Amino acid sequence: MDESLLASKGIRPKLSRLGYVDDLRLHIGERATLLPAKDSRSYGVLMEVTLDQAAGLYSDESVCDYVAEAVVVHLPDDKQVAAICYNLPASKLTGTNPRYAADLLALATRLSMPESYLERIRSAEELP
């Protein structure tokens, strides 16, 4: 999630760090989600927000189907931390959204995520 989006909702994370999770693969439909996929890696931003703030974010009708899942985030300093990641169940993943993919690609590029991950996002951006 983009910090500027959170700020627009009045949320300022206490902590914000790049990291990755293993065995989850990015899928982009109308929105993005991470789905189980052995030997995959997905990158993102670990942000510390309160449980109430997270619940408020995911109470919006457009994302209320997302569910909280426990993950282990690998940080650049070789630390691993337990975190919660909100994911859309595979059964609810529908459609395509090239505009969403383009916005995600711009953010991932700005954050200097690995080229292989950027390619994954580009492939969704190019869908009809």
Spell out the domains of the chain, with CATH numbers in brackets.
3-125 (3.10.490.10)
pLDDT, tens digit, for every residue of 46-75?
988 888 888 888 888 888 999 999 999 999
pLDDT band at 84 (very low <50, low <70, confident <90, very high): very high
105 in Cβ contact with 118 (< 8 Å)? yes
Give residues with Cβ within 8 angstroms of 78, minimum separation 6. Answer: none
75 in Cβ contact with 81 (< 8 Å)? yes
Separation CA 31–CA 47 (nearest Å): 19
Mean pLDDT for the chain overall: 88
Token representation of residue 39: 């030997």
pLDDT band at 1 (very low <50, low <70, confident <90, very high): low
92 in Cβ contact with 115 (< 8 Å)? no
Predicted pLDDT at 127: 53
